[in-house]
Structure 1
């Protein structure tokens, strides 16, 4: 195993059946491939908390489906 640092974008693109150019069309960097969706999730979670009442306890906000 070569690990994250030892894996190149060329290798990732080849394994996915795409060119390096296509890879960079979807991901600005190798890091964005790995953590990009977590950034999006964090943004969505922050927006959801912003929509909750200010005086509501965080635990209630986190478990609310409304």
Structure 2
């Protein structure tokens, strides 16, 4: 399966030097998170539940 990576909406934009990319992995395998500056450097694999918790935490931290 080919993973289609996209920049996270939580990054600073197209020219941001600290971009995170997300990709839906094979069915049931979760969501991949990688550094857009090093796409060949591997990725972190999160389950859907872990990913939702991560997004909730980011929202809470940015509200502070």
**Taking structure 2 as the reference length, what is the TM-score of the superposition?**
0.29
**Which of the two has higher C-alpha Rg?**
1
TM-score by length of 1: 0.29
